[in-house]
Amino acid sequence: MIRPAWRSSGILVAGMLAACMAPVMAFRVPGAGLTSLAASRLRVSSAAGGRLQRPAVRRLPAVLHMSASAPAADNAAAEGASTDGKPEVRKRILSGVQPTGNLHLGNYLGAIRQWVANQDKYENFFCVVDLHAITAPHVPAELTKSSFDIAALYLAAGIDPNKSKVFIQSHVTAHAELCWLLNCVTPMGWMEKMIQYKEKAKKQGESVSIGLFDYPILMAADILLYQAQLVPVGEDQRQHLELSRDIARRFNDQYCKKKSMPAKGRRVFREPEALIVKEGARVMSLLDGTSKMSKSDPADGSRINLLDPPEVIRKKVSRCKTDSFEGMEWNNPERPECTNLLNIYKAVTDKSEEEILAEVGHMRWGEFKPLLAEALVAHLEPIQSKYAELMEDKSQLKRVLLEGAEAAEAVAGQTNELAKRAMGFTTRQDLA
Reply yes or no on whether 315 is catalytic: no
Asked if 147 interacts with ligand TYM (CB under 6 A), we say no
> Which residue's CB is nearer to ligand TYM, number 10 or number 234?
234
Residue 307, sorted as left (phi over 0), alpha (psi -120 to 50) or beta, turns out to be: alpha
> Among residues 257, 292, 315, 351, which one is catalytic?
292
Binding-site size, ligand TYM (CB under 6 A): 25
Among the listed residues 16, 168, 231, 418, the single contact to ligand TYM using CB under 6 A? 231
Nearer to ligand TYM, 101 or 262 (CB): 101
Among 281, 338, 383, 407, contact with ligand TYM (rule: CB under 6 A):
281
Which residues have C-beta within 8 Å of that of residue 413, sequence separation ≥ 6?
Answer: 5, 8, 9, 12, 172, 174
Q: Which stretch binds ligand TYM (CB under 6 A): 10-18, 40-48, 67-75, 281-289?
A: 281-289
Q: Which of 42, 116, 129, 342 binds ligand TYM (CB under 6 A)?
A: 129
Taking the complex as a whole, how short is the minimal distance between the CB of residue 285 and ligand TYM, in angstroms? 8
Give Cβ neighbours of residue 312 (< 8 Å, ≥ 6 apart).
none
4-17 in b/e form (b: 16+ CB < 10 A) is ebeebbbbbbbbbb
Q: How far is the CB of 299 from ligand TYM (least distance, A)?
A: 14
Q: Are 58 and 71 in contact (CB under 8 A)?
A: no
| Catalytic status, residue 292 | yes
In whole angstroms, the minimum distance from the beta carbon of 83 to ligand TYM comes to: 32
Among 344, 429, 327, 414, smallest CA distance to 62 is for 414
Position among 223, 347, 360, 372 found at the interface with ligand TYM (CB under 6 A): 223
Contact yes or no for 233/95 (Cβ under 8 A): yes
- Residues 88-107 binding ligand TYM (CB under 6 A) are 94-98, 106-107
Looking at the DSSP bridge assignments, the partners of residue 92 are: 123
Secondary structure letter of residue 272 according to DSSP: P
* Interacting span for ligand TYM (CB under 6 A) from 215-223, 331-339, 376-384, 405-413: 215-223
Closest CB to ligand TYM among residues 219, 307: 219
State the Cα–Cα distance between residues 347 and 352, nearest whole angstrom: 9
Rounded alpha-carbon distances, angstroms, from residue 262 to 27, 167, 183, 423, 424: 6, 32, 21, 8, 7
Per-residue binding string, ligand TYM, 288-317, x by CB under 6 A, is: ----xx------------------------
Kindly write down the DSSP assignment for every residue of 211-261, as one continuous string: HHHHHHHHHHHHHHHTT-SEEE--GGGHHHHHHHHHHHHHHHHHHHSSTTS
- Which of 91, 160, 174, 87 has its CA nearest to residue 126? 160
Nearest to residue 266, comparing CAs of 285, 278, 251? 251
Residue 110 or 289: the one with the smaller Cβ distance to ligand TYM is 110
Instruction: Measure the CA–CA gap between 118 and 244, rounded to whole angstroms.
Output: 22
Under the binding rule (CB under 6 A), the answer on residue 194 touching ligand TYM is no
Under the binding rule (CB under 6 A), the answer on residue 219 touching ligand TYM is yes
Q: Which of 295, 315, 351, 386 is catalytic?
A: 295
Single residue of 224, 283, 401, 412 touching ligand TYM by CB under 6 A: 283
Which letter, b or e, does each residue of 77-108 get, where b requires 16 or more Cβ atoms within 10 Å of its Cβ? bbeeeeeeeeeebbbbbbbbbbbbbbbbbbbb
Least distance between ligand TYM and beta carbon 409 (Å): 16
Give the N- to C-terminal CA distance of the chain in Å, as an integer. 26
Q: What is the contact mask toward ligand TYM in residues 42 to 81, using x (rule: CB under 6 A)?
A: ----------------------------------------
Q: Alpha-carbon Rg of the chain, whole angstroms?
A: 23
| Residue closer to ligand TYM (CB basis): 222 or 308 | 222
Nearer to ligand TYM, 219 or 373 (CB): 219
- Active-site positions? 200, 292, 295
Q: Which residues bind ligand TYM (CB under 6 A)?
A: 94-98, 106-107, 110-111, 129, 132, 219, 222-223, 231, 233-234, 236-237, 240, 281-283, 292-293
